[in-house]
Amino acid sequence: MSRGFNEREKQVITNSLIEQGRILFSKLGFQKTSILEITKNVGIAQGTFYKFFNSKEELYFVILEMEEEKIKEQFANVDIFKENQPNKAIKSILRQMINTIETNPLIRELYFGSSMKDMLKKLSPELLEKHFKNDATSFLPLIEKLKNKGFIIEENPEVIAGVARSLFVLTLHQNEIGVAVYQETIELLIDLIVDGLIKVEGI
């Protein structure tokens, strides 16, 4: 029978599982990375893994959320009013975020490694719902800043977050969109989304 872990040990092991998961998922891909290999690198028994995560999919999802937070933080403090053209600044941020997504191996693996279907089947609805709510909440500071400057945003944060997710997912389907027109299509969608969501009061 394995001994229990105190809170400090639990945190250390959780962090180690996340770190080793990130390394192995990036190097080998989701499908080829085994729980055994992750736990071996951490120095715990394979069965102990399930004291911390319900599945390999859940660990991968947690790592993806952390990658997403890094992307959000990267642009959270950008002064969108610096040049008195907030729409232009937001479009620039979206383009940079898309570039980050296009080059992030963990996010690319999720879509191109056929991991999405497996992950969604094994994640609890509560976990996904929490993720979507966090996405919506992350837009609240930006919405408040714009409203305080006299801009009108009628759609609720959940819809705005859904639109953003839809845009990012499209970046992973270049072939279906058409490689020749992909870049122009994304540029036009960014213009339509930002200009459609953010309106100047009185216009």
Angle at which helix 179-197 crosses helix 86-103, to 10 degrees, equals: 140
User: What confidence tens digit (pLDDT) does each residue in 160-200 have?
Assistant: 888 888 888 887 788 899 999 999 999 999 999 999 988 86
pTM of the model: 0.71
Residue ranges, comma separated, of all CATH 1.10.357 domains in the chain are 55-200
CATH no. for 1-53: 1.10.10.60
Residue ranges, comma separated, of all CATH 1.10.10.60 domains in the chain are 1-53
The residue count for the chain: 203
User: What confidence tens digit (pLDDT) does each residue in 148-164 have?
Assistant: 888 888 888 888 888 88
Which fold is adopted by the domain 55-200? Tetracycline Repressor; domain 2 (1.10.357)
3-state DSSP helix/strand/coil percent for the chain, to nearest 5?
75, 0, 25
Is the CB of residue 111 less than 8 Å from the CB of residue 105?
no
